[in-house]
Structures are given as C-alpha cells and as structure tokens.
Amino acid sequence: MMTANEAMQRLKEGNQRFVTGVRSVDTIIKQMQRADFVEGQAPFAVILGCSDSRVPAEIVFDQGLGDLFVIRVAGNIVAPSQVGSVEFAAEQFGTPLVVVLGHTMCGAVRATIDELEKPSTETSFNLLSIVNRIRPTVEPLFQTELKNDAQKLMAVSIRANILAAVNHLRHGSQILEQLVNRGQLEIVGAEYSLETGEVLFID
C-alpha cells in the first residue's frame, strides 16, 4: 500500500513531467488498457479540484486510468456531496492522500470578490450557492490592506479558499478526521499555476 508521502511524490514527479512536456510511458500504456480496470480501481490519490477546463488533474499530474479519484466543482468548494465522495474513496479504496487543487485566476473566487465589492440582484441562486461557500473565507480579507490591491487580494483569496476547503475536509467529517488521526490519510492543499503549469503544495 502506498503511503501519503509516496503518493505526493508521485504527483510532484508527474507534474514536473507535465511542465517539461514529457509524458510517462506508463501513463500512455494505461490509457490503452481499459479492460484492466473493468473489475475495480485502486487510485493512489483523491483530487478535489476546480471545474476549470484548463486544470484537468490527470493531465496536470501526468497520470493514467485508475490512478486518481477526481472530484471537480467550481471553486474547488467543499459541500456534502464532495465530502461524501472523498469519504467513499478513502474508505472503499484505502486511498492515502487527498489534494484540494485550486488554481490561479480562479473564476469562482473572482465572482465572489465581485459580489462582495458590488452585490448583484441578478446573480442566479445556483451561482450564489458557490459564491456563498467561498464568501466566509474572502470577506474578512476586505478588512485588511489587501482591499487596496486587487491583484494581491485575488492571490490571497485563492490560497485562503484552498486552505478553507482542506480544513473543512479534515474537520467536517468524522470518518475523514478519524482516518487522519490514525495516520491512514493525509489531506493537503495545492495551487496550480495557469501561467507556468506548476503545482505548488501548500499547508
């Protein structure tokens, strides 16, 4: 069974291949072996990432079929269905690592900042449900000097949103919290750079 540290190292190595434009032969072979995964799967990491079309986890980490259990939602927010999905993977497959993957220039975080700066009466209820998940993390930043620097406000808001999701997973589920306390699961945050393709792991 792979450890969380081994899983993270595998992700880091895969991301470095992606950044340099070199694909793993193992990844390519796995994509041609669909039949091998019909009976089951054993993903070594869970990725809770943003729905942004520019951040597909399997490609960003250069992994193949069966390697990653990927959950994607705008703003990489954590709601009950996402928690349940992570619980399923951690219990069912014994996956040792969960990564909350945010990214630079996140549209959901941008929408939250825009809503806080200029509330709209026309925003759909469904979009607001995403904004309202991010709002408690971003709103306090408006009480700091960051409110005078739009670029820094955006960058710090994205990082804060990632860490809030990590904290929610660590402490918002009895199942996940017990696995973490027993050393069977590690939950970390990471930020993907649209500009460079690099993933920075944060905590």
Structural domains of the chain sorted by starting position, each given as residue range(s) with its CATH number in brackets:
4-21+42-202 (3.40.1050.10)
- The most distant pair of C-alpha atoms in the chain lies apart, rounded to whole Å, by 55
Q: pTM of the entire structure? A: 0.93
Average pLDDT, the chain: 93
Which residue numbers belong to the known binding site?
50, 52, 103, 106
pLDDT band at 99 (very low <50, low <70, confident <90, very high): very high
Condensed to tens digits (0 to 9), the pLDDT of residues 118-136 reads 988 887 899 999 999 999 9
pLDDT above 70: residue 34: no
Helix 125-138 / helix 107-117 crossing angle, nearest 10 deg: 80
- Amino acid at the residue 79: A
β-bridge pairing 186-192 and 97-103: parallel
| SS3 state of residue 192 | strand
Q: Tell me phi and psi for residue 38, to 5 degrees.
A: -65, -40
* pLDDT mean over 50-55: 97
- 36 confidence band (pLDDT: 50, 70, 90): low
Q: Where is the binding site for Zn(2+), in residues?
A: 50, 52, 103, 106
Please state, as a whole number, how many other Cβ atoms lie within 10 Å of the Cβ of residue 183: 10
